[in-house]
Chain A
């Protein structure tokens, strides 16, 4: 136990840098982060105050990274961080935080609390305090090719089905094409229609693309569990495949943390910049729209709203792109309260959805989303993250809500004008 506590504390020490020190130095204990947190707001339990979830890390910083804290530690005024502390904090750090980032946007002194939770998870996983489902997913992904186990046969079957449906060929491992597409396991298993949608859109736009048989999985449980080592191994598969194939870019799919993992953490995990571009599918679609390469015909006339995935909008910077696409194909588009950068999380991100013991809490947190949706009462909800899609669908089942959910790429493809000219 001591050895793993020591490993955990070492991992935490490695995470403490100037920004973290400035955040802890600045905190005035105002508690405004709580008002922003979906878990606090729906439970009103002060244990879920975001900054409080970092208490062990804050204590470690005080004791070891400040002179006054070191003196305080010698006088016995600042308690050391124990294995029991980390054990107690496990549910706070993994069950009641989706890394959604709302607290980061409201903190009056500018503390990036979400970044610190991400960092704290590095220490928690090294100390052995991680939900077992996330460990299982990490082992499966490292040993096979996806967090759900070997997904290669399923993916090939889905590709075959898509080719039969659209008549458009999808090639594996083709070098020199424009883009390499990666998919989240959720898409491969639950929402494979994305393949046909991309095939049609890319064909119309004259884009060549491929899927790498040894680097097709976009999800990265290393980022959720908080293990840079695992995250690096998984992201390297995609990076090495893209470099081997010599593609111009990699299309990050409709998956929030996958976008974070490859686009923002990827180069830092690999320790080098990539020689290809990482573009989110929705950024790419918006680019095609601007270039006039995304012709559409007709519009959805029912009432449609949009759910911003935290990792793609608030923590990913993709905010206007989906709205320009919505304007293209939805005639009765309505925004929910707090839409955009302050949208409420579905409650399932950051590994929470995979964590069985967090189910009740996740469904309680969903009440915020439910209230947001009920206020605009849409027929259809569009989003751009397969995991939000899955979480929302499942929770709506629980709350007997009848709103259709669809991925944005698939929604746009529904109205793609790709009939041959003159037909």
Chain B
């Protein structure tokens, strides 16, 4: 049997199932150990609307404060483009939508191939900018450790391998597809153990921030 095909079937079969199980169980564990710590009832009478503002802040915090972007343009721009590009490539590419439809029964229209590929390329460029800001910029460098580079690498691999596989740029296409799926498996596995958790926990942290400020009638 074709070894590339065997690898591909393993990557999207048993390996993917294990990765998904670690991903789901890990996230559940991390969220449970966070939420069980609880939070004391605030006895100060509210001036504003804590719950409403907490919920609103989950969305409004996606927009930067005016005047700040120019102080860390690489981080802001790189961050936006990477997130948007990553999710466009993930969620708007027709074969991905077909996979999700088969698994969950949910589906939505795919984007034009050129849009998906541009988004992918832009996300990769953004990741390179983010990498260089971690190496060059003193603030980013002071905060960066092994995990940050690992997460950046593992987040960009599915984009690069997916692009190569979809365009049959080089190598055995089946092998490239297998590598692509393996990179996704790896991303799923490290997710609960690393700062990738922010893509779930941000809902909580933004809510708390908004609720704490909202109780006081202060901005958030």
Q: Which chain A residues have a beta carbon within 8 Å of chain B's beta carbons?
A: 16-23, 25-32, 34-36, 40-41, 44, 46-47, 49, 51-52, 65-68, 104-112, 115, 263-268, 270-273, 313-319, 337-338, 340-342
A26, A32, A264: the one within 8 Å of B68 (CB): A32
Residues of A within 8 A of B68 (CB): 32, 35-36, 106
Q: Which residues of A contact B218 (CB under 8 A)?
A: 313-317, 319, 341
Most buried by A among B61, B62, B67, B201: B201
Q: Hey, what's the 0/1 contact readout for B50-75 against A, CB within 8 Å counting as 1?
A: 00000001100110110110011001
Q: Which of B39, B64, B139, B215 contacts A106 (CB 8 A)?
A: B64
Min CB distance A278 to B, Å, is 8
User: By the criterion CB–CB under 8 Å, are A29 and B144 in contact?
Assistant: yes
Residue contacts A-B, CB under 8 angstroms, 28 given: A17-B40, A18-B36, A18-B39, A18-B204, A25-B34, A25-B205, A26-B197, A26-B198, A30-B75, A31-B72, A32-B76, A52-B143, A65-B33, A66-B30, A66-B33, A67-B33, A104-B213, A106-B65, A108-B61, A109-B201, A110-B206, A112-B209, A263-B44, A267-B45, A268-B42, A314-B219, A317-B217, A317-B218
In contact, B143 and A49 (Cβ under 8 angstroms): yes
Other than A46-B139, A112-B212, A264-B44, give 16 A-B pairs with Cβ distance below 8 A. Answer: A16-B37, A19-B205, A25-B30, A26-B198, A26-B204, A28-B195, A29-B148, A35-B72, A36-B65, A108-B62, A108-B79, A268-B43, A316-B216, A316-B218, A341-B219, A342-B67
Measured CA separation A30–B71 after assembly (Å): 13
Q: Residue on B with the closest CB to A66?
A: B33
Residue B132 at the chain A interface, CB threshold 8 Å: no
User: Is the CB of B48 closer than 8 A to any CB of chain A?
Assistant: yes
Say yes or no for B23: interface residue by CB 8 A criterion: no
A21, A46, A68: which contacts B34 (Cβ < 8 A)? A21
Once A31-B139, A314-B219 are accepted as A-B contacts, the answer to whether A67 and B29 lie under 8 Å apart by CB is: yes
* Cβ–Cβ < 8 Å partners of A27 in chain B: 195, 198
Majority SS at the chain A contact face: helix
Contact call B216/A25, Cβ cutoff below 8 A: no
Chain A: minimal CB distance from B195 (Å):
5
Q: Is the CB of A17 within 8 A of B44?
A: no
Tell yes or no: B168 within 8 A of A by CB.
no
The reply to whether B48 and A22 contact each other, CB–CB distance below 8 Å, is no
Query: Between A and B, how many residue pairs show CB distances below 8 Å?
Result: 177
Interface size of B in residues (CB-CB distance below 8 Å)? 61
Q: Which of B29, B47, B141, B205 has the most CB of A within 10 A?
A: B205
Check A22/B139 contact, CB under 8 A, given A32-B75, A316-B218.
no
Contact residues in A for B206 (Cβ distance below 8 Å): 109-110
Kindly state whether residue B35 has any CB partner on chain A within 8 Å: yes
Closest residue of A by beta carbon distance from B70: A35
Inter-subunit contact B202/A26 (CB<8 Å): yes
- Find the B residue at minimum CB distance from A68: B193
Q: Is the CB of A52 within 8 A of B142?
A: yes
Determine the distance from Cα of A271 to Cα of B42 in the docked complex, in whole angstroms: 9
Cross-chain contact A110 with B210 (CB below 8 angstroms): yes
User: B104-143 vs A: 1/0 string, CB under 8 Å?
Assistant: 0000000000000000000000000000000001111111
Q: State A23–B210 Cα separation when bound (angstroms).
A: 13
Q: Name the 6 nearest CB pairs between A and B, nearest first.
A: A110-B206, A317-B217, A317-B218, A267-B43, A46-B142, A110-B209
Q: Which residues of A contact B212 (CB under 8 A)?
A: 19, 112, 115
Give the docked Cα–Cα distance between A315 and B220 (Å): 10
B207 within 8 A of A: yes
Which of B38, B39, B57, B197 is close to A25, meaning CB atoms less than 8 Å apart?
A: B197
Q: Do residues A32 and B198 form an inter-chain contact, with CB atoms below 8 A?
A: no
Q: Does B87 contact A (CB under 8 A)?
A: no
Q: A19 to B143, Cβ gap below 8 A? A: no
* A107 proximity list for chain B (CB < 8 A): 61, 209
Contact between chains at A264 and B197 (CB < 8 Å): no
| Bound Cα distance from A18 to B29, whole angstroms | 14
Contacts of A19 in B (CB 8 A): 39, 204-205, 208, 212
A273 touches B43 (CB 8 A): yes
Interchain CA distance A306-B217 in the complex, whole Å: 20
Contacts of A272 in B (CB 8 A): 43
Smallest Cβ-Cβ distance to B212: which chain A residue: A112
Contact A25 B198 (CB under 8 A): yes
Q: Are B205 and A109 within 8 A (Cβ)?
A: yes
A125 to B195, CA, bound (A): 30
Asked if A25 and B72 sit within 8 Å, CB to CB, the answer is no
In the docked arrangement, what's the CA distance between A51 and B198, Å? 15
CB neighbours (8 Å) of A115 from chain B are 212
CA distance A270 to B44 in the complex (A): 10
